[in-house]
A and B are shown apart, each in its own frame.
Chain A
């Protein structure tokens, strides 16, 4: 009997690893398991080697394991490539006849899935379904739920397609039951409630819809693109315009234009696209136009590793844009946070009339997790504009009226009885171009100092775990939340604590000073080569960490990898 299993499905791009993964994800959730799933894919449409990895457990899971208990090799290449990442007691499911492999290997569990696919469905296409059946067979869980899911997945297909898939799955299931006698992969149904399954990008899109985003513009860029896909999918239902821009420069200038006109607007991209948006970011700062921009990071410089993960844009986002202006940067650690912080991002952007950035990475963007249903009342869309009703009484208006808070009342063009001037040049209260030195000082104070002071009261507090007892503290931002959380809960790590920053700018200085008072053995956990969080912490608080645990091979941290790195440090 197993408490948790890591299942990997590997093959060439186009062989349908994702569809097996999706079916299995649903199956295990229906059986009451917590799941975490992610894809490792190459920047190509066909060929190469991709895999889908699924971790299922009786307890909540937030990260991956390094090695798989069950690996399904859909092609011969996968057998060789994944032999070194098999867990103790783990197996590789393969079709020896099809792959022309004759030798024996204790890792191998030979399942003739090509033959079974052809016998039941009549073509190779059915290997996906057969393999789903084989895996379920190994766990000993009942076939019924898989049958239901297949019916559901193929609901819009003809009856004989559904029937053939059920037969293919059953053939795989029976084969495993009859030929794999060990019980090491057997599972008892779990107790997790049926909940939501989504990835970080979907959570951001849903957050944006809930927050009242009405205009979305972007140029497709991995790993941000599925935000646009999701917005487009629901666009019509919620009257949201999703416009694919000619380039990222257009995208950011368009969302600024739509926001100026009064519609909440967002763009998403990855580092290279964000680089193109930088002048526009500065425009949003100067014109005090609220926008939300997502940077789903991937390894760079330049084109980098398009489909892999990294957290190396932290310094870039904090400093992006010429000149000085206020901004906020969120770095959600979980899918739930991605949803709630996106709504908050829209509210804060509008309240302070600033650009708000949401920094994620490929790992958070693409990984699926079973989560609790969202609390839709936790963060709601709040408006900070002159209402249409009140606008009728506004006959004289200054867009950049100097106020105590630095924030001027924001009107919607055509609602008020006066006109609105907005300028990227330094401007006076009316919004006309000025060269006046005193006015310059006042406007800098408004855009920069006053807003930053106010924003320090709105900081999203870092999550802290076990800080009262901890003698070793891990620090991270963004997608490393999950791996830090799980490692602190591992047996033997009772003295571990962690702090996770889901807002990295303005930096939560006073909270950090409080939390880290008298603490030693501080380690940042970062998916970059420069230890950017450690340096940010040093710059903002003067606190120096012992060491930065850095990973910059384009792969996410997983539980075993991080444990290994910590062991190495302790043995030094």
Chain B
């Protein structure tokens, strides 16, 4: 496949310079490098700027409700495991409104890849704090600065047993594209938090701010993403230096393995026109 096979005709509605462009580019690059046809890929999103992303790629797209990207994605994968299912969501959509679904779907461990476009601010509603906005950041609502502790999604994901926990950066497309392909390859729930500037509403966490701080965990050859305690420590790093890359990785059985789904034909392939229930009716005599 080529990048052009994934070209959508829909007009892009993001601000010029938005970090989402880098994420879109990285995802297209990943898909083009794979052997998957557009109709075998399903992109699912909720609401927010990041949630518009599926419209800008030629793949199947289910753009649902705010905060509710993960449940339909997981169920679509359960219904047809031949689909490659990727969620594109944001810090508000996934960590705020949809937090409960993130927690429990990490536990459920269906084989999907969740890309969280994390700009640490609410873009579409024009600049309120998100669950990952830094302490003290002043907005039109948080007029005295944010007083709620920022959420640590990667730390939480590791604690919940997520088998693939990564962080990318929207301006490093090459690296992000690699992360996404590793996430897709991972059998089970993969979480990729992607740092991205919001050029309109986040005046703190800018391109320059990130560029100074970001480094790749695999630059240190001794870093072992299989070491859970080391991974926890890595997620605590925020401020002067911010790590990106595969923070934690462990192989375990997916939902499809545990439930036995992998042993039967995909649910959507089942013939349903004349299901014989006469045997079970006898149990009600």
Question: Does the CB pair B79–A245 fall under 8 Å?
Answer: no
Contact (A257, B55) CB under 8 Å given A209-B277, A246-B103, A419-B60: no
Tell me if A23 counts as interface (CB < 8 A to partner B): no
Contact yes or no, B64 A256, CB < 8 A: yes
A414 CA to B80 CA in the complex, in Å? 9
Interface-located stretch among A97-105, A376-384, A555-563: A376-384
Q: Among B68, B268, B285, which residue has its beta carbon within 8 angstroms of that of A412?
A: B268
**B104 with A414: CB separation less than 8 A:** no
**Which of B264, B273, B280 is packed against the most chain A CB atoms within 10 Å?**
B280
B80:A381 contact, CB within 8 angstroms = no
CB atoms of A263 and B267 under 8 A apart: yes
Bound state CA distance, A431 and B261, in angstroms? 30
Q: Which residue of A lies closest to B44 (CB)?
A: A257
Q: Does A92 count as interface, using CB distance less than 8 angstroms?
A: no
Residues of B within 8 A of A413 (CB): 39, 42, 60, 76, 80, 83
CB distance from A106 to the nearest CB of B (A): 40
The answer to the question of A454 belonging to the interface, with a C-beta cut-off of 8 Å to chain B, is no
> Bound state CA distance, A470 and B189, in angstroms?
64
B-side contacts of A239, CB under 8 Å:
264-265, 267, 270
Q: Is A143 an interface residue (CB 8 A)?
A: no
Q: Inside 8 A of A383's CB, which chain B residues have their CB?
A: 272-273
Question: In the complex the two chains form, is A247's CB within 8 Å of B100's CB?
Answer: yes
Interface size class of A (residues with CB under 8 A): 35 or more
Which B residues lie within 8 Å of A374 (CB)?
281
Tell me if A373 and B281 are in contact (CB < 8 A): yes
Interface centre among B38, B39, B73 (most CB of A within 10 A): B39
Q: Of the 9-residue stretches A46-54, A125-133, A195-203, A498-506, which lies at the interface with chain B?
A: A195-203
CB of A380 within 8 A of CB of B72, answer no
Query: What 1/0 mask marks residues of chain A from 212 to 256 whose CB sits below 8 Å from any chain B CB?
Result: 101101000000000000000010111101010111011101111
A74 CB–B CB distance under 8 Å: no
Question: Which residues of chain A have C-beta atoms less than 8 A from B270's C-beta?
Answer: 212, 214, 239, 263
With contacts A215-B267, A238-B275, A287-B64 taken as known, whether A265 is within 8 angstroms of B75 at the C-beta atoms is yes
Asked if B199 is an interface residue, CB under 8 A from chain A, the answer is: no
Interface check B61, CB cutoff 8 A: yes
Within 8 A of B (CB), among A419-471: 419-425, 430-433
CB distance from A226 to the nearest CB of B (A): 13
- Contact A215-B75, Cβ < 8 Å, known A260-B62, A414-B82: yes
What is the distance, in angstroms, from B190's C-beta to the closest C-beta of chain A?
18
A257:B76 contact, CB within 8 angstroms? yes
Mark B80-106 against chain A: 1 for CB-CB distance below 8 A, else 0.
Answer: 101100000000000000001101100
**Taking A210-B277, A383-B272, A419-B39 as contacts, is the C-beta distance between A254 and B71 under 8 angstroms?**
yes
Whether A417 sits at the interface, judged by CB under 8 Å, is yes
CA distance A417 to B58 in the complex (A): 12
Contacts of A238 in B (CB 8 A): 275
CB distance B80 to A210 under 8 Å?
no
A249 vs B265: C-alpha distance when bound (angstroms):
28
Q: Which residues of B are found within 8 Å of A380, using beta-carbon distances?
A: 273-274
**Distance, CA A257 to CA B75, complexed state (A):** 5
* Contact mask for chain B residues 253-273; partner A; CB cutoff 8 A; 1 contact, 0 none: 000000111001101111011
Contact A212 B272 (CB under 8 A): yes
- Contact partner of B10 (CB less than 8 A), chosen from A215, A217, A418, A432, is A432
Q: B78 near A: Cβ within 8 Å?
A: yes
* Interchain pairs with CB closer than 8 A, number: 191
With known contacts A260-B62, A424-B63, A433–B79 Cβ distance under 8 A: no
B79 and A261: CB pair below 8 A? Answer: yes
Residues in A with CB closer than 8 Å to B64 are 253, 256-257, 283, 287, 424
**Interchain CB contact under 8 A, A253 and B79:** no
Q: Is A206 an interface residue (CB 8 A)?
A: yes
Contacts of A254 in B (CB 8 A): 71-72, 74-75
A202 adjacent to B275 (CB under 8 Å): no
- Interface residue B40 (Cβ < 8 Å from any Cβ of A): yes
Contacts known (A214-B267, A239-B264, A376-B278); A253 close to B61, Cβ less than 8 A: no
In this complex, the member of A212, A236, A263, A422 whose beta carbon has the largest number of chain B beta carbons within 10 angstroms is A263
Separation in Å of the B69 CB from the closest CB of chain A?
Answer: 9
Q: Which residues of B contact A412 (CB under 8 A)?
A: 80, 268
CB pair A257–B284 under 8 Å, yes or no, is: no
- Bound state CA distance, A390 and B260, in angstroms? 30
B156 within 8 A of A: no
Q: In this assembly, does A285 line the interface, its C-beta being within 8 Å of a C-beta of chain B?
A: no
Shortest beta-carbon distance, B283 to chain A, in Å?
Answer: 9
Q: Separation in Å of the B47 CB from the closest CB of chain A?
A: 7
By a CB distance below 8 angstroms, the chain B residues around A409 are none
Q: Is the CB of B83 within 8 A of A261?
A: yes
B78 touches A243 (CB 8 A): yes
Whether A162 is near chain B, meaning CB under 8 Å from some CB there, is no
A98 to B253, CA, bound (A): 55
A470 to B198, CA, bound (A): 72
CA distance A48 to B281 in the complex (A): 34
Give B84 Cβ to nearest chain A Cβ, in Å: 10
- Our pick among A245, A420, A433 for the contact of B60 (Cβ within 8 Å) is A420
A264 at the interface (CB under 8 A from B): yes
Contact partners of A373 in chain B: CB under 8 A: 281
Look across to chain A and name the residue whose beta carbon is closest to the beta carbon of B269: A388
- In the complex, chain A residues whose CB is within 8 Å of the CB of B214: none
* Listed A/B pairs (8) with beta-carbon separation below 8 Å: A206-B277, A246-B101, A250-B100, A413-B42, A414-B80, A414-B82, A421-B55, A432-B55
- With A263-B80, A264-B272, A421-B54 given, name 7 new contacts (CB 8 A): A249-B100, A263-B79, A263-B268, A381-B273, A414-B60, A419-B60, A430-B10
- Give 10 closest A-B pairs by Cβ, nearest first: A257-B72, A212-B272, A257-B75, A262-B268, A253-B71, A246-B104, A261-B79, A263-B79, A254-B75, A258-B75
Interface residues of A (CB under 8 A from B): 194-198, 202, 206, 209-212, 214-215, 217, 234, 236-239, 241, 243, 245-247, 249-251, 253-265, 279-280, 283, 287, 373-374, 376, 380-383, 388, 412-414, 416-425, 430-433
